[in-house]
Amino acid sequence: MIAIPVEIDTMLSILNLPKEMTSNGVFSEHQGLVMEMLRSLVLKDDYDLATHENLPENEPLVVAFRFGYSFLMLYSTAEFLNLKTLGEGIVKTVGLDQSATELLTGGEIEAYKANLVLRALTIMQDYLNPKGLERLHRTLPFAYFLGLKKGDLGHF
């Protein structure tokens, strides 16, 4: 199997998002952006394997790249998704009778997106290039100060 790009229905499953979102064009529009983000953060040989080689589905590289791609796709599209809100934001809570909803604030969306980047980089840490490792250290501020290197953080 080619690891990336991940098909939209598979990505939705990985992220536990509703299948109805398959037709949302935002995912197709952001595919090139997410692929470029990945290309800029990982080692060239690993990126080439993930995009061209037919590897077993349970191969660690395939798993890491598929999950990393999915997390970065949600990072890239989170603020544009219309999840039951008619374009007003992402629903945080819904009242018991569906009459009241509470949306994520801008700050909460940014924190959510930072967590998605951290998850993507952590799961892909064995494949990160120096730029990707620097981004991981910036995303996890104390990792840099502790002197952690590639492979020190373990996997999810």
Mean pLDDT of the chain: 82
For residue 94, report the phi and psi dihedrals to the nearest 5 degrees. -125, 135
The CA-based angle 103-15-93, given to 5 degrees, is 20
Whether pLDDT at 22 is above 70: yes
- Residue 103 parent element (H or E): strand 101-103
Tell me what pLDDT residue 142 has.
46
Tell me what pLDDT residue 67 has.
97
Tell me what pLDDT residue 93 has.
54
Whether pLDDT at 141 is above 80: no
Tell me what pLDDT residue 102 has.
65
Cα separation, 6 vs 12, in Å, equals 10
CA-based radius of gyration for the chain: 17
More confident position, 156 or 102: 102
Which pLDDT tens digit goes with each residue over 45-103? 999 999 999 999 999 999 999 999 999 999 999 877 744 444 444 555 555 555 555 66
Domain ranges of the chain: 8-145
